Amino acid sequence: MSKPLVIFGSAEMAELAKFYFEHDSSRKVVAFTVDDAYVKEDQFQGLPLVPFSEVARRYPADAYDMHVALSYAKLNRLRQEKYEQAKAAGYTLASYVCSKSATWPDLAIGDNCFILENQTIQPTVRIGNNVMIWSGNHLGHGTEIGDHTYIASHVVISGHCKIGQRNFFGVNSTLRDFCNIGDDCFIAMGASVARDMPSGSVALAPQAEVYEADDRRAKALKRMYFKI
C-alpha cells in the first residue's frame, strides 16, 4: 500500500499534481506544504497548507511521502532546490507516470518525476530524478535524460541521445539521434537540434513571418490556397 502524499507547492502545478495522483494512481493526497514565507492561507484545494518548518511534525517522513510540484523557474534550479530540501528532511519522493502513455517494462525512472499522458517512451530509455515531461512526446530508444530536466509537449528526442541536468525543451523541439546535450541548456520552441550542445548553450528556431490581413502577401496567399 502506497503511503499518503504531501505535495510541495501551492500553485497551478501543485493543483495539477493532486488531480493526476488522485485520478490515476493509488496515492491519496492529504496536504500541501511550502516554505513558511509563502503560507498566506491555511488551506489549498480544500486540504491543509502547512509551513515546511512544521510538515515533518504533522506529516512525518516515516508515514508520508512527498512530491515536489514546481515548474521550470530559474531553469529548473528552484525545483532542484526544493527537491533536495525535501530529501534532506527524510522524505521519499513519489513519481507519477500517466497510465495513458506507452512505456516498456525496462523503463528506468528516478524519484519525483511527473510524466503526463500520451508519451511514446521506447525500450531502454533511462530518466533521472525530478524530471518533468508534459504531454505527447517521443523519447527514442537508448536515450538518457538527466536530473531536473523539463520537457514540454510534442518534443521528439531521437534514439541514443544523452541529455544532462537542468535542461529545458520547448514545445515542438526536435533532437537528432546520438546527440549529446550538456547541462543547463535551453532548447526553445520549434528548434531542430542536429549536433551536440555544450553546457549552458541555447538553440533557437527561426520565427514564422506574420502578414497582416491587408498585406499584399497575405492577400495573395489566401487567393492561392482558398480562392478568396
On average, the pLDDT of the chain sits at: 97
CATH 3.40.50.20 fits 5-88, yes or no: yes
Average pLDDT over every residue of 83-89 = 98
List residues bridging with 99 in a β-sheet.
Answer: none
pLDDT for 129: 98
Distance between CA atoms of residues 217 and 21, nearest Å? 49
- The pLDDT of residue 70 is above 90: yes
Confidence of residue 123 (pLDDT cuts 50, 70, 90): very high
What does the pLDDT average to over 84-91?
98
| Ranges of each domain in the chain | 5-88, 96-228
**Residue written as cell 514565507?**
37
Residue range 143-188, pLDDT digits in tens: 999 999 999 999 999 999 999 999 999 999 999 999 999 999 999 9
Is there a contact between 57 and 46 (Cβ–Cβ < 8 Å)? no
3-class secondary structure for 51-115?
EHHHHHHHCCCCCCEEEECCCCCCCCHHHHHHHHHHHHCCCCECCEECCCCECCCCCEECCCCEE
CATH, range 96-228: 2.160.10.10
Average pLDDT estimate for 40-67: 97
Cell numbers found for residue 212: 497582416
**pLDDT score recorded for residue 65:** 98
Task: Please state whether beta strands 29-34 and 5-8 pair in parallel, antiparallel, or not at all (unpaired).
Answer: parallel
Q: What is the mean pLDDT of residues 43-57?
A: 98
29-33 average pLDDT score: 98
Return d(Cα 6, Cα 59) in angstroms, integer.
8
pLDDT band at 1 (very low <50, low <70, confident <90, very high): confident
Cα dihedral angle (184, 189, 191, 195), rounded to 10 degrees? Answer: 20
